[in-house]
Amino acid sequence: MPLVPFDRLPDDARCWVFAARAPLDEVDEPRLLSAVDGFLLTWKAHGAALTSAREFRDEHFLVVGVDERASDASGCSIDGLFRVLQKVEDGIGTSMVGGGTLYFRDQGGLVHGCTRAEFEAMAAMGEVEPGTPVFDTTVTTIGDYRARFERPARESWHAQLFPAR
């Protein structure tokens, strides 16, 4: 079966993190996940079914993983995933594929997206601190996702955005 539970993906599985700048509500989240699940159920590379899974968390983050031990995801197959997401974007009113947004969790537990310049300004004003949880959307394996997707800013590349003390 090509679609498996997310926790069954091995640490060396390849992954992509897609993030919505605005949180998805109870209408848009199922719309997104239905489209993604439909694609993943039939996802193939050079005729071979890909073993894949997805996870949606914190109303913002879609993580798609593929176990490439049996069959590698090809460039064309990956393009297919991106095309599905681009089609869904119009229906949910937010971009999932574009980059450039940083994400952090506030003291109340809510996730926020901002530009690098906005984060840097918040750091300078003390609105975010080195202990503020941030999200690294650049992870490329499930193991990295599990280990370092959300962590304090001081332990991430985000640390460079804080003023020198």
Asked whether the whole model's pTM tops 0.75, one would answer yes
Please report whether residue 142 resides in a domain: no
pLDDT for residue 165 = 66
Q: Long-range contacts of range 125-130, CB-CB < 8 Å, 24 or more positions apart?
A: 128/104, 128/153, 129/153, 130/154, 130/159, 130/162
* Structural domain harbouring 47: 10-92
What are the tens digits of pLDDT across the range 92-109? Answer: 988 888 778 999 999 999
Question: Do 26 and 87 belong to one domain?
Answer: yes
CA angle 149, 154, 160 (to 5 degrees): 100
Question: Do 17 and 86 belong to one domain?
Answer: yes
DSSP label of 101: -
Q: How many domains does the chain fold into?
A: 2
Question: Do 64 and 18 belong to one domain?
Answer: yes
Rounded distance, CA 140 to CA 14, Å? Answer: 6
Please report whether residue 5 resides in a domain: no
CATH number at residue 31: 3.30.70
Question: Do 111 and 41 belong to one domain?
Answer: no
Question: Do 47 and 84 belong to one domain?
Answer: yes
Please report whether residue 88 resides in a domain: yes
What are the tens digits of pLDDT across the range 23-39? Answer: 999 999 999 999 999 99
**Looking at the chain, how many residues does it have?**
165
